[in-house]
Amino acid sequence: MFAFVLYDEYRKRVLIARDPFGIMPLYIGQDVEGNLWISSEMKCMIEYCKNIKNFPPGHFAMGDPNNLNPQPFFVRPWQTEIPNQLADIAELRKRLEGAVRSHLQCDVSFGALLSGGVDSSLIASIATKIMRERDPSYRLRTFSVGMVGSPDFKHARMVADYIGSDHTEVIFTVEECLDGVRDLIYHLESYDIATVRCSLPMFYLARYVKSTGIKMILSGEGADEIFGGYLYFFKAPTYGEFHREMVTRLDQLHVSDILRANKVTMSKGLELRVPFLDTSFVDYVMSIRPEDKIPGALNCYSGIQDHRMEKYILRKAFDKNYLPPEVLWRQKEQFSDGVGYDLIEALPKFAAKRVTDAEFANVSQRFPINPPTTKEAYYYRCIFEDMFPGESPALTVEKWAPRLDWGCPEDPSGRAQEAHENRLKEYL
């Protein structure tokens, strides 16, 4: 992961580049005098720049600062073609273990985020096995966050006991999250509902983890994008549509989940590492044919069509002595759902009390760019607009939502999707 700028003062030339998936944030802007601005945060540019954009992931720009044209350096066949490589679970396991091993190279104290979902749990389990090659008594420090009774806590404890980690649960209340919305949006630099929802509990978790002396944290971000793990993927009508949607999700990571994960942790001085987004690992997984990855009745892993759950080949690759079965085969939970369902139910109610019907009726006039479609979205947008006014900051944000044309509800919560075992009542 990288984002950098090099300036040759003698030749007056600049080189700008950003990693393939936008793990590191990078903005580019121009002030009224035509000067070039580059920053990892938008907030320092707002006062000076009339035009601010996301520098695109997987691109570089080199030359005269006044005449830059970003060019792609990360170009792969699977970005435009439907792959046909058969899944090999032994190779998949080997490659993910290699990705985790490479991300463990550091000289500072580190730990792992552990939600109790399969992605973060696998990273923690693999990291523990690798570290115990040198020290059989090694105990990885793991952290989970949630409210009292959180679904994630139960499963995170199972994993912690199974791998023998030094585990900590960070408990928050709905009120604490609601009080932190404004501060969060300042650091997040986004008004997208899904991104804000998921960021709130992580905001509190990052603060606690940093206070323990941990400086680097492993996370499971990226798996849902490359394995098709979101529950709305069950509605994919064809293999081609399924694969193209994964490519789209991967392209949008830098304005959604990875933006959240990076900015929230870095706001507390904590370095986040994401082995699932190791470039060679992503290349391998995205080159696997969609028939082996698609969830539901269309799955044809190993040449046998059967109804299989999301991320089946990932789970199958690690079904021997890595995780307890209750976690390995646990259904996908959105992070904002897993920390406690009360939070997702409280946020719309909280926003509804702060946005009047009259205000919401004029939403298109106030916000012609990406107009909010709910009062919750309107509330976040108002806070964002107060801190980051103008058209160009608003255009740096993209909405994360399931595919409406597949018949999915607009609400980004996993519980709103038909495939969820605890589906929200209003969608029944």
Is pLDDT above 60 for 335?
no
Q: pTM of the entire structure? A: 0.93
Mean pLDDT confidence for 45-61: 96
118 located within any domain: yes
- What's the CA gap between 7 and 21, in Å, rounded? 23
426 located within any domain: no
Query: Distances from the Cα of 91 to the Cαs of 280, 294, 317, 357, in angstroms?
Result: 12, 19, 9, 55
Helix (H) / strand (E) element for 273: namely strand 271-273
Mean pLDDT confidence for 26-44: 95
Query: Distances from the Cα of 202 to the Cαs of 108, 141, 145, 270, in angstroms?
Result: 21, 17, 7, 12
Is 220 assigned a ligand-binding role in the annotation?
yes
pLDDT of residue 412: 73
424 pLDDT band, cuts 50/70/90, is: very low
pLDDT of residue 334: 55
Q: Are residues 103 and 29 in the same domain?
A: no
pLDDT of residue 409: 81
- What's the CA gap between 155 and 167, in Å, rounded? 12
Q: What is the pLDDT of residues 141-196, one digit of tens each?
A: 999 999 888 888 999 999 999 999 999 999 999 999 899 999 999 999 999 999 99
Q: Are residues 239 and 201 in the same domain?
A: yes
Q: Are residues 157 and 38 in the same domain?
A: no
Q: Which residues contact 307 (CB under 8 A, 6 or more apart)?
A: 296, 297, 299
32 pLDDT band, cuts 50/70/90, is: very high
Q: How many domains does the chain have?
A: 3
273 located within any domain: yes
pLDDT of residue 284: 98
Mean pLDDT confidence for 267-287: 97
Query: Distances from the Cα of 295 to the Cαs of 34, 73, 232, 237, in angstroms?
Result: 50, 31, 10, 11
Which amino acid belongs to residue 403? R
The values of phi and psi at residue 261, to 5°, are: -60, -45
Domain ranges, residue 383: 354-396
Q: Are residues 88 and 190 in the same domain?
A: yes
Q: Which two tokens stand for residue 357?
A: 């019907």
89 located within any domain: yes
Is 159 assigned a ligand-binding role in the annotation?
no
425 pLDDT band, cuts 50/70/90, is: very low
The DSSP secondary structure of 153-175, one letter per residue, reads HHHHHHHHHHHT-EEEEEE--HH
Q: What is the pLDDT of residues 383-393, one digit of tens each?
A: 999 999 999 99
425 located within any domain: no
State what percent of residues in the chain have pLDDT above 70. Answer: 95
Q: What is the pLDDT of residues 108-129, one digit of tens each?
A: 999 999 999 999 999 999 999 9
Q: Are residues 212 and 168 in the same domain?
A: yes
349 located within any domain: no
Q: What is the pLDDT of residues 62-120, one digit of tens each?
A: 999 999 999 999 999 999 999 999 999 999 999 999 999 999 999 999 999 999 999 99
Mean pLDDT confidence for 350-369: 95
Q: Are residues 337 and 368 in the same domain?
A: no
User: Domain ends where: 38, 72, 106?
Assistant: 72
Question: Between vectors from CA 116 to CA 295 and to CA 220, what angle results, nearest 5°?
Answer: 70
Q: Are residues 128 and 21 in the same domain?
A: no
pLDDT of residue 223: 97
pLDDT of residue 256: 93
User: Domain ends where: 56, 72, 88?
Assistant: 72
Q: Are residues 15 and 154 in the same domain?
A: no
Closest CA to 174 of 413, 353, 340: 340
CATH number of the domain encompassing residue 237: 3.40.50.620
pLDDT of residue 364: 94
pLDDT of residue 338: 56
User: Domain ends where: 16, 42, 72?
Assistant: 72
Q: Are residues 91 and 189 in the same domain?
A: yes
Report the Cα–Cα distance between both ends of the chain, in Å, rounded: 42
Is pLDDT above 70 for 421?
no
Is 113 assigned a ligand-binding role in the annotation?
yes
Q: Are residues 365 and 231 in the same domain?
A: no
Q: What is the pLDDT of residues 297-334, one digit of tens each?
A: 999 999 999 999 999 999 999 999 999 999 999 987 65
Q: Let me know how long the chain is.
A: 428
Q: Are residues 134 and 197 in the same domain?
A: yes
pLDDT of residue 428: 28
413 pLDDT band, cuts 50/70/90, is: low
39 located within any domain: yes
Q: Are residues 262 and 358 in the same domain?
A: no
The DSSP secondary structure of 8-52, one letter per residue, reads ETTTTEEEEEE-TT--S--EEEEETT--EEEES-STTTTTTEEEE
423 pLDDT band, cuts 50/70/90, is: very low
Phi-psi region of 370 (alpha: psi -120 to 50; beta: other; left: phi over 0): left
